[in-house]
Chains A and B, each alone.
Chain A
Amino acid sequence: MPLTLESLDVLQGEPDWLGERRRGALATYERLPNPSKTDEEWRRTDISGLNTAQFSELEHKNGSRLDVSSLPRGVILEPLRVAAEKHAQLVEPLLFSLIKSDRDRFTALHAAFFTGGTFLYVPDGVEIKEPIVAQHASHAGGTAFLPHTLIVAGRGARFHYLDEYIGQDDEPAAYRSGSAEIFVGEGAEVGYVAVQKWGRNAWHFGDQRARLGKDSKLRLFSVTLGGRFSKTRVEGSLVGQGADAELKSIYLASGKQFFDFHTLQDHQVGNTRSDLLFKGALQDTARTVYAGLIRIEKGAARSDAYQANRNLVLSDHAKATSIPMLEIDNNDVRCTHGATVGPVDPQQMFYLRSRGIPEQTAKRMLVQGFFGDVLDRIPFDHARSLIEAELEKRLG
């Protein structure tokens, strides 16, 4: 039983405009073919084992758990489906305006059937000290669970937000996505962290896409640990002068996991800065694909863009593919990118072993060291301790 129009019936109590959109997205989903191997984005990404028709039951019809003590006046924090009704004037124009539902089959499916997820609106000038934590936990295998986050930061707003996607490793195969649209207003400063730790049998498709206004700053940190298959797109559009996007990521792939990352740093105007660093460690027979693009548009003078992907390949049978791309249409810029794929440095290993450290421990230390510089860029402590603990557990 695939997801169909009838599956939408369970999503009661939504405003008409949303139902309309869901039906539109479902039609798109049914119309679009599966991405083909000749499509550059999917050339190295094998989805032949995925049968979306297998996952018919939706999880979390009423939104995810939100962990927040007290919020400043004017801040709206609601499950997205509730906000669609209560704050339609804010949600309707923005929802799926950054992540277009017709981009591919999986974004269409996501837009048609998203259930959990959060709407956060922080008005102009408001600062939230405590990080906002949203936990999206799946409770059963075999289901579809597609949480969607919509974040709107007003002028000069400041806050931190964490999306944690949680599943059990022994759950049967499941369909998951976790996407976030982030609007960063003029002069706002937003820290956003997503930690994907779905079960090891899950298929995950996620989009994290931000739009940065004038003089705004986004520190995005994306962690991928779970899923048998995980495809994540991290994209930042810099549309206002002085915008600054930091896009960082770590991933740890083991067993037979396959991770795919596509990133975009889209400098639409000048005097903007983006800094991207994706670091991954691969074990066993894991495979990863990274493809990133820096695009500097014609008028975007004095842009500064940096893009790097570093892969530490810990096993002879793990494979990392890295494709960093540039499209530069303005000369008054500074763009640098780099990619590396390589094993543990044998000299470092020798050094540690010669001091009596067992090989496994030495390897773990080297991996932790490898991740060290990027872990420093996690925007807030709560997320950092969570990620470090998670890494410790998985590397142990």
Chain B
Amino acid sequence: MATIPTQIDVGTDYKEKYGFFVPEEYIFKAKRGLNPEIVKEISFMKKEPEWMLNMRLKSLEIFRKKPMPTWGADLSVIDFENIFYYLKASDKQSTSWEDLPPDIKKTYDRLGVPEAERKFLAGVSAQYESEVVYHSLHEELSKKGVIFTDTDSALRDHPELFKEYFGTIIPPGDNKFAALNTAVWSGGSFIYVPKGVRVDIPLQAYFRINAENMGQFERTLIICDEGSFVHYIEGCTAPIYTTDSLHSAVVEIIVKTDARCRYTTIQNWSTNVFNLVTKRALAYQDATMEWVDGNLGSQITMKYPSVYLMEPGAKGDVLSVAFAGKGQHQDAGGKMIHVAPNTTSTITSKSISKGGGRTSYRGHIKMYPGANNSKSFVKCDALLLDDESRSDTYPYNDVDAENVTLGHEATVSKVSDEQLFYLMSRGITRSEAETMIVNGFIEPFTKELPLEYAVELNRLIQLEMEGSVG
């Protein structure tokens, strides 16, 4: 019998399992609620230019006007007036690990950031609360002209580049939560990769939510100039709290001619978080955009990373894994919008439901008139671990282009009795066997992750599976 090391659990009891719950200590904490004064205060605290303030105020108006989405998960329980829209944990950006305030450092120690950094990280932009407090950039990267910073600093230090792209891919009017994010955004990562530069090591940022009822509205903007390559990794973990938290991020990416961008997410919010994220990338001629998206935590996730294939030869990829346990609803998927001819896209979705959890794949393939000779393929596999759980598949396919090929395949099944029998007849316990099968099921996903993330994911799955089946 292999012994499973005692490890952190996810979403059940962070205090016990993770062993951390850092007391709040804030420099500035805006009042609860949402109104133009709060928005002005946020903008003032950040010493932002006027155009940004105006954009925030306009977005607040749009947010107020837009109705809540009537499809997907039930969001009626979110109380927008009972959320902190801005917190600043320390007033100065740290440039090295040593300079970080000790309690924040302690939190990251538990999460293993420094270790990861010691290994091979180029730059870490770790987000504690709403703003990036720890930030280091590998010398080599800056020499190549790569900008990797938090989004607030980017607005200050690279105003022209910032203004050229900010809010152009996901305008505030896109949806209610994009409008909310644009009104109150804070933190997030900003990456610019110049022409022809390849960033060989993944850039990563750790996120955490740590204050009760605190919304986290980070804003990420990635620009890959012609022929460049970058892999960005975001990983999230949050301690559990008694009242609901809202996480509503916006990620905008531009992948120019011949460039390639990969964006990897391991989302592991505590199970009271509403995770409502808008992620969109534009891919130009012969460019490649890849979303690798893992959703394990949160109470409700609604997230559909999308790629707009703008010019011939563009390629989009979404690889998504969702795990829904008790009380969780993962409504995830992907969108591929074919605008230009000869574009290709694939979406692969793997979902696991257990203990009454619900996973929904929701996808959209759109091929506009003129996006001729395009190809798209969608594959969704769902695993239901018990008869309380639920799985749905809602693929929307709209083809208005000529000579296109479109395929969709989906299966829903349970852990097969034959596989279980095979493993158990070799002396493996039922629970271990099921874990092995589940890990095998999501292998197409894990093999795309950097090693430490793959290990972490396998451990998380193992913990989720423990004692849950049989």
Contact = CB atoms under 8 A, between A and B. Distances in A.
B393 A316 contact: no
A328 B397 contact: no
Given A301-B387, A328-B390, A337-B393, A316 B402 contact: yes
20 contacts: A44-B398, A313-B403, A321-B397, A322-B397, A323-B394, A324-B393, A326-B393, A328-B384, A328-B390, A330-B384, A331-B384, A331-B389, A333-B414, A334-B411, A335-B411, A335-B413, A337-B408, A337-B410, A340-B407, A341-B397
A33 to B, nearest CB: 18
Q: Is the interface of B mostly helix, strand, loop or mixed?
A: strand
Nearest to B377: A340
A317 interface: yes
Interface in B367-397: 372, 382, 384-387, 389-397
Contact of A326 (B386, B391, B396, B403): B391
Given A330-B384, A342-B405, A319 B391 contact: no
B399 interface: yes
B406 interface: yes
A327 B392 contact: yes
A313 B391 CA distance: 31
Contact of B406 (A298, A322, A329, A330): A322
B400 interface: yes
Contacts of A326: 382, 391-393, 410, 412
Nearest to A345: B405
A82 interface: no
Contacts of B147: none
A392 B407 CA distance: 28
B409 A338 contact: yes
A333 B382 CA distance: 11
B377 to A, nearest CB: 9
Given A339-B397, A342-B406, 12 more contacts: A298-B387, A316-B402, A321-B399, A323-B394, A323-B396, A328-B390, A331-B386, A337-B410, A337-B411, A339-B407, A342-B404, A343-B405
Nearest to B417: A332
A296 to B, nearest CB: 8
A8 interface: no
A125 B332 CA distance: 50
For the complex of A and B, the 5 pairs showing the least CB-CB separation, nearest first, are: A331-B384, A316-B402, A326-B393, A342-B405, A335-B412
Given A325-B394, A340-B407, A342-B405, A330 B413 contact: no
A298 B402 CA distance: 41
A341 B411 contact: no
Nearest to B383: A331
Nearest to A316: B402
Contacts of B372: 316
Nearest to A307: B410
Nearest to A338: B409
Contacts of A340: 405-408
Contacts of B384: 328, 330-331, 333
A44 B353 CA distance: 32
Interface of A: 44, 298, 301, 313, 316-317, 319-343
Contacts of A335: 410-413
A44 B404 CA distance: 19
B389 A324 contact: no
A325 B361 CA distance: 9
Given A328-B384, A330-B387, A332-B387, A338 B406 contact: no
Instruction: Specify which of A44, A331, A336 lies most central, judged by the most chain B CB atoms within 10 Å of its CB.
Output: A331
A332 to B, nearest CB: 6
A334 B417 CA distance: 12
Contacts of A336: 409-412
Contacts of A330: 384, 387
Nearest to B71: A40
A316 B397 CA distance: 17
Contacts of B392: 325-328
A323 B413 contact: no
A333 B394 CA distance: 18
A221 to B, nearest CB: 24
Contacts of B382: 326, 328
B5 to A, nearest CB: 29
Nearest to A342: B405
Contacts of B397: 321-323, 339, 341
A343 B403 contact: yes
A134 B213 CA distance: 67
A331 B398 contact: no
A48 to B, nearest CB: 18
A319 B400 contact: yes
Interface string B8-31: 000000000000000000000000
B396 A338 contact: no
Contacts of B387: 298, 301, 330-332
B39 to A, nearest CB: 31
Contacts of B393: 324-326, 337
Contacts of A333: 384, 412-414
B38 to A, nearest CB: 33
A324 B395 contact: yes
Contact of A341 (B353, B385, B405, B413): B405
A326 B411 CA distance: 9
Given A326-B393, A331-B385, A331-B386, A316 B410 contact: no
Contact of A317 (B386, B402, B404, B413): B402
Nearest to A291: B396
A321 B397 CA distance: 6
Nearest to B390: A329
B399 A341 contact: yes
A338 B391 contact: no
A323 B389 contact: no
A316 B399 CA distance: 12
Nearest to B406: A341
B409 A337 contact: yes
A262 to B, nearest CB: 14
Contacts of A313: 403-404
A394 to B, nearest CB: 23
Interface in B392-445: 392-400, 402-414
B389 to A, nearest CB: 6
Instruction: Specify which of A317, A321, A326 lies most central, judged by the most chain B CB atoms within 10 Å of its CB.
Output: A326
A327 B398 CA distance: 21
A331 B414 contact: yes
